[in-house]
Amino acid sequence: MTQTLVDRLVARAMVLAVDTLDDEAMADLRCLAASNDQALEQAIRACLAQPAPLAIRQRAIELLARVRYEDPPPPA
């Protein structure tokens, strides 16, 4: 079965939500999303249905939302 970008974003956000610093997690998700705002929106909604503790789903959604709605940092 082929994973869609949304599936990959959800899976990655759930993993990163457990034990990754915000900046690292957001950089990883930003790279994976490649500016696909529609995929980020769908991934945010899909995280709600994941069979995981509420705190992990909340953090994953927060990370995805920050990638979606915050401006990326300027290049170093």
Express each pLDDT in 25-64 by its tens digit.
999 999 999 999 999 999 999 999 999 999 999 999 999 9
What is the structure's pLDDT at 51? 95
Kindly state whether residue 21 falls inside one of the protein's structural domains.
Answer: yes
Helix 5-19 vs helix 22-33: angle between axes, to the nearest 10 degrees? 170
Dump pLDDT digits (tens) for 10-27.
999 999 999 889 999 999
Kindly state whether residue 20 falls inside one of the protein's structural domains.
Answer: yes
Structural domain range at position 63: 5-69
- What pTM was estimated for this model as a whole? 0.89
Kindly state whether residue 37 falls inside one of the protein's structural domains.
Answer: yes
What is the structure's pLDDT at 2? 66
| Total structural domains within the chain | 1
Which two structure tokens, joined as six digits, stand for 42?
A: 């769908």
Rounded Cα gap, residues 24 and 20, in angstroms: 7
Specify the amino acid at residue 46.
A
